[in-house]
Amino acid sequence: MSTARAGDPLLLVRQLRVEFQLPSASPWATPWSKKETLRAVDSVQLDLRPGETLGIVGESGCGKSTLARTLVGLQQPTAGAIFLDGKDITHLGEEGWRQLRRDVQMVFQDPLASLNPRMTVGESIAEPLHNLYPEMPLQQRWRKVRDIMPRVGLEAAWINRYPHEFSGGQCQRIGIARALVVEPRVLICDEPVSALDVTVQAQIIQLLKDLQAELNLAMLFIAHDLAVVKDISHRVMVMYLGKVMAQSSSKMLFQRARHPYTRALLGSVPLPDPQRERAREPQVLEGELPSPLNPPSGCVFRTRCPLADNLCSMQVPALRQTIAGDYAACHYADQTP
Amino acid sequence: MSTPAEVLPDIELVEGRSLWQDAMRRMLRNRAAMVSSFLLLALLITVTVGPWISGYEYDQLDWDHIWEPPAMETGHWLGTDSLGRDLFVRICQGGRISLMVGIVSTIVSLLIGVSWGAIAGYFGGRVDAIMMRIVDILYAMPFLFFVILLMVFFGRHILLIFIAIGMVNWLDMARIVRGQTLSIKNKEFIEAAWMAGASNRRVIYRHIIPNLMGVVAVYVTLTIPQVILVESFLSFLGLGVQEPATSWGALVNEGAQEMERAPWLLIFPASCLALTLFCFNFIGDGLRDALDPKDR
């Protein structure tokens, strides 16, 4: 496989759309009546370079997990294209995806639930090697497992222990070791820290950050908490109801967010200083998240947006550049202070 | 296969405790289950070596001692039946048959049922629908009618009992395993296994089946007595084993006919049967508590 030149995107996503067919909720529905379509991910574009971390934030149900699952082949896209290293991987069969697992790996949300309780830690970490490199001699396989364990902060002596003998943070380290043992180039992290408590979160984020720099990984980091994403990402993408609302460099996003939704999200991050936190004007989004089965016309955020007017309900705002490296999908992105 | 300990001699490994080992420790603390296990083991040993100690054959007629109550001096420890056959040896021989029917039929149903249920549950959709409809159709067949048909066509043979009971029993097993598979399938570690490149076959046999063995183990200990009872029932109707061979069910049947004249012919086989059933049920309860302590 050809290696990408530095600077070329490793993972490229264009106009990705993922839809689910749901049976109608009406009490008169029959198995053959028309199904409702839920658009979980809509026209998402993104590119990811080696050594770069893209953070994805959004409320629950905004499609970020579906996006992640689509990028690793656990979910079929409805439309759009995914390229890895310039190769179209959108419609690979099962076998094609299996080959790709050497390059694209994933860290899961629930650390304990993502480990098979009947397998030792060593067996769990060796599982990708067993399946993806069946010709690798057993000795080498176990040596690889032993070598990766200290790198994620686990003692190699624990190789024969079982997941239930570890804490949540340690289990997540096992999950990271399992993803990295095949030396992938892309790592997708689907809310890897949301099930952990805050101090452990910080440790895991630091670990991912170090490993990413060390292995020159292209990393997609999903969270529903901006504070978590801020620390690890080079760029941040904000999603709402399956659509990309804004994308910009991490620094720029936190200094001067263009999109009203991003600013609302930023407003919900508590400040570490209690006096400043108290002095701050509370910014709470009004209203409920609309049903993705029946999204608002025009801009999907308009029902909760303080700037919304007629234009927003008629025309879908395109994701456009406001200043260099900063994109927002809002008609009034330039007018925000 | 080389283990981590062989490949990595330079580090001292901390041995983990698997869920099975945990369950074992809880099981060892369960008094009823442990007593039952010992009783069952004792029964199994007696049934196996009994005939060699006794000195009588199960089909040997002793015309001098017909309908004799239990007596130590004649060597007929549990008495004799209407033909002067030694009851102790016959109980041992019948026990062999009964336990063998119970264990072999259960293993057969285990092998078919677990794979069938796991495959149906894992693949879901149309595969699941077709496989489970086959199970439903087999369920609808009248069991007794089926056994009688088998006997009529192939003659009475102990193997047919195995086949008949096994054919019926794996249906329950398949349903239970399918249900368990459906719940395990949605766990995150199955997705993680796919991410690790595991084939469907490997996901089923390495990730799903080991995780449902707890439920299956409990079910097996409850199936064995059930199968023994079914065999007794068939023998009672005269569809089971053929004379002079016998089983506990057949012995109880004979004993019941002579209940007033020779009560020992009923009491001893019936208590053996009851004891075995109790033991298996206690072990099943113990296993259930040991494997799933939260469910108690």
Residues A312 and A305 sit within 8 Å (Cβ to Cβ): yes
What's the token pair of residue B110? 């285990």
A212 membership: H or E segment, kind and range:
helix A198-215
Mutate to test the interface with A, among B6, B10, B195, B209 (most CBs of A within 10 A): B195
Residues A333 and A259 sit within 8 Å (Cβ to Cβ): yes
- How far apart CA B274 and CA B105 sit, in angstroms, is 19
Polymer length of chain A? 337
Q: What is the pLDDT of residue A222?
A: 93
In Å, how far are A16, A49, A196, B97 from B192, measured between CA atoms? Answer: 23, 25, 19, 46
Q: Is residue B8 part of a domain?
A: no
CATH of the domain at B273: 1.10.3720.10
- How far apart CA A73 and CA B197 sit, in angstroms, is 11
Contact partners, residue B117, CB within 8 Å, separation at least 6: B173, B174, B175, B176, B177, B178, B179, B180, B181
Q: Is residue B236 part of a domain?
A: yes
Q: Residue A293 is which amino acid?
A: L
Average pLDDT (A259-274) is: 81
What's the token pair of residue B14? 């901390």
Number of structural domains, chain B?
A: 1
- How far apart CA A242 and CA A62 sit, in angstroms, is 5
pTM: 0.83
End-to-end CA distance of chain B: 38
- How far apart CA B139 and CA B120 sit, in angstroms, is 17
Residue A310 main-chain phi, psi, to 5 deg? -55, -40
- How far apart CA A76 and CA A79 sit, in angstroms, is 9
Beta bridge partners of A186: A104, A218
- How far apart CA A151 and CA A125 sit, in angstroms, is 13
- How far apart CA A173 and CA A161 sit, in angstroms, is 14
pLDDT above 60 for A1? no
Q: What is the pLDDT of residues A98-107, one digit of tens each?
A: 888 999 999 9
Q: Is residue B11 part of a domain?
A: no
Residues A186 and A104 sit within 8 Å (Cβ to Cβ): yes
Contacts of A155 in chain B (CB under 8 A): 14
In Å, how far are A44, A68, A74, A76, A244 from A16, measured between CA atoms? Answer: 5, 12, 15, 10, 11
Q: Is A109 on the interface with B (CB under 8 A)?
A: yes
Task: Report DSSP letters for A94-107, one per residue.
Answer: HHHHHHHTTTEEEE
Q: What is the pLDDT of residues B183-213, one digit of tens each?
A: 999 999 999 999 998 999 999 999 999 888 8
Q: Do A157 and B187 touch (CB under 8 A)?
A: no
Instruction: Name the stretches of chain B with pLDDT < 50.
Output: 1, 295-296
Beta bridge partners of A19: A39
Q: Residue B198 is which amino acid?
A: A
Contacts of A116 in chain B (CB under 8 A): 189, 192-193, 207, 210-211
Q: What is the pLDDT of residue A4?
A: 42
Range of the domain at B273: 19-54+83-295
Contacts of B4 in chain A (CB under 8 A): 122, 142, 145-146, 159-160
Interface of A with B in 53-92 (CB under 8 A): 72, 74
Closest-CA residue of A relative to B207 is A116
Average pLDDT (A32-56) is: 87
Q: What is the pLDDT of residue A2?
A: 42
> What percentage of chain A has pLDDT greater than the value 90?
39
- Angle (CA) A322-A327-A330 rounded to 5° is 80
Q: Residue B208 is which amino acid?
A: I
Q: Which of A106, A118, A142 sits opposite B19 (nearest CB)?
A: A118
Structural domains in chain A, CATH included, are 8-22+36-92+228-337 (3.40.50.300)
Q: 10 Å Cβ neighbour count for A195?
A: 19
- How far apart CA A271 and CA A282 sit, in angstroms, is 12
Q: Is residue B69 part of a domain?
A: no
Q: Do B16 and A162 touch (CB under 8 A)?
A: yes
Q: Is residue B154 part of a domain?
A: yes
Q: Using only C-alpha atoms, what is the Rg of chain B?
A: 23
Taking every pair of C-alpha atoms in chain B, what is the biggest distance, in angstroms?
76
Q: Is residue B185 part of a domain?
A: yes
CA nearest neighbour of B56 among B12, B92, B103: B92
- How far apart CA A285 and CA A267 sit, in angstroms, is 9
Q: Which of B4, B189, B206 sits opposite A115 (nearest CB)?
A: B189
- How far apart CA B129 and CA A324 sit, in angstroms, is 56
Average pLDDT (A77-105) is: 88
Closest-CA residue of B relative to A159 is B13
Residues A115 and B19 sit within 8 Å (Cβ to Cβ): no
Q: Is residue B163 part of a domain?
A: yes
Average pLDDT (A65-84) is: 91
- Helix ranges (H only) for A36-184 are 64-71, 94-100, 121-132, 138-151, 168-180
Q: Do B202 and A116 touch (CB under 8 A)?
A: no
Q: What is the pLDDT of residue A283?
A: 66
Cis peptide preceding B244, ω within 30 of 0: yes
pLDDT level of residue A205 (50, 70, 90 thresholds): very high
Q: Is residue B132 part of a domain?
A: yes
Q: What is the pLDDT of residue A184?
A: 94
- Interface contacts (A, B; CB < 8 Å): 107
What number of CA atoms fall less than 13 Å from residue A46's CA on the CB side? 32
Q: 10 Å Cβ neighbour count for B278?
A: 15
- Helix ranges (H only) for A274-334 are 274-279, 310-314
- How far apart CA B198 and CA B201 sit, in angstroms, is 8
Q: What is the pLDDT of residues A247-263, one digit of tens each?
A: 888 888 877 778 888 88
SS3 A28: coil
Q: What is the pLDDT of residue B296?
A: 41
CA nearest neighbour of B87 among B274, B250, B275, B277: B250
Mutate to test the interface with A, among B123, B189, B190 (most CBs of A within 10 A): B189
SS3 A87: strand
In Å, how far are A173, A295, B41, B236, B248 from B276, measured between CA atoms? Answer: 49, 65, 10, 18, 11
CA nearest neighbour of A67 among A177, A228, A191: A191
- Helix ranges (H only) for chain B are 4-7, 19-28, 31-54, 87-123, 125-140, 143-154, 158-185, 188-195, 200-202, 209-236, 248-257, 264-291
Q: What is the pLDDT of residue A307?
A: 82
